[in-house]
Amino acid sequence: MSVYLQKDNRYVWSPVGQTPVIPVTAQRDSLKIYGALDVERGYEIALVLPEMNASATVHFLEHLLTCLPERHILILWDRASWHKGLARQFVEDHEYLDMMYFPPACPDLNPQEHVWKLTRQGVGHACDYLNLSDLRKAFMHHLEHTIFKFDWLDKFFPTFLPESVLL
């Protein structure tokens, strides 16, 4: 996820007949946050990195392996360019990692999108923060102190399959 200190103009109120003025900062700095959700327990593992690219993705995967030693991890990825090439090779080279890609244009299937949405709501408007450091602290505090319950398996796994298929 990328977060900027810009105004969020999805909702704008103004008197009828007056064009709303939305102040915008010239600052283009942003937070790049990588995250992984343990869908069983609802815990989020997040890491702020300077870029979103394949080497940063590999760095985050190394972080995951450190946080969850000797635990099998299924990485569910969207189709971002940094989830291919070097990052894909890293997953293939590690016995505790496996991966699957979401279908194109299906963010509702991604539990991580659920986390990002709840965190944005919990932290408030990014433009309310004076600097990226304060925004980073707020985001990380929310991610580290919130249990994200997501009924992903119940919601998307077919319940009509016989029990033997589920094993």
The CATH number covering residue 120 comes to: 3.30.420.10
Domain count, the chain: 1
SS3 27: coil
CB 127 within 8 A of CB 7: yes
pLDDT at 50: 92
- 145 lies in which domain range? 2-166
Residue 166 — pLDDT band, cuts 50, 70, 90?
very low
pLDDT tens per residue, range 14-64: 788 888 776 665 566 788 999 999 888 899 999 999 999 999 999 999 999
